[in-house]
Amino acid sequence: MEMRCDGLGRNKIVNSEDSKDRIRNWTMVGHKRERNDARQNGSKVLIHCHAGVSRSATVTIAYLLKHTRMAMADAYKFVKGKRFIISPNFNFMGQLLEFEQDLNQGISPRILYPRLQGIESSV
């Protein structure tokens, strides 16, 4: 569902429930296009879930894994530094680790200076 709110630009609401392989689905569906468009245009994207603790943090970490090649632990720390209350559930943490391995074909992407081009950062 898409809607417009004055001052907020374009919004997309994605209803979703927790389930196995949810991260793969979240990173593959159409809202990926909006995130990439916003990144290329220098816009900002708000990813939020009901409490802003588990799902939104997981989607954000997965995005960082895929688009900056950060290690999962570094992506987690980065997001935690921006929103200290995040706490992805155990299932999501396992999926993030699997997602990282899949992206890097089993090799950890330990990078000392992650590419954060277009991503607000105090790192």
Whether 5 is catalytic = no
Alpha-carbon distances, residue 76 vs 6, 18, 45 (angstroms):
32, 19, 18
Pairing between β-strand 9-12 and β-strand 2-5 as defined by DSSP bridges: antiparallel
| CATH of residue 96 | 3.90.190.10
Residue 108 lies in a domain: no
Q: Establish if 110 belongs to a structural domain.
A: no
Question: Does residue 47 form part of some domain?
Answer: yes
Residue 119 resides in a domain: no
For 21-30, write each residue's pLDDT tens digit: 556 555 544 4
Catalytic member of 14, 38, 49, 119: 49
Residue 91: give the domain boundaries.
2-103
Q: Which two tokens stand for residue 111?
A: 């990078």
60: closest CA among 39, 46, 50?
46
The domain tally of the chain equals 1
Question: What pLDDT, on a 0 to 100 scale, did the predictor assign at position 68?
Answer: 84
Biggest CA–CA distance in the chain, Å, is 45
Residue 56: inside a domain? yes
Does residue 38 lie within any of the structural domains?
Answer: yes
Residue 22, in any domain of the structure: yes
Residue 94 lies in a domain: yes
pLDDT band at 105 (very low <50, low <70, confident <90, very high): confident
Q: Tokens standing for 115?
A: 């590419």
Per-residue model confidence as pLDDT tens digits over 45-97:
777 777 888 988 998 899 888 888 888 999 999 999 999 999 999 999 999 99
pLDDT of residue 123: 41
pLDDT for 16 beyond 60: no
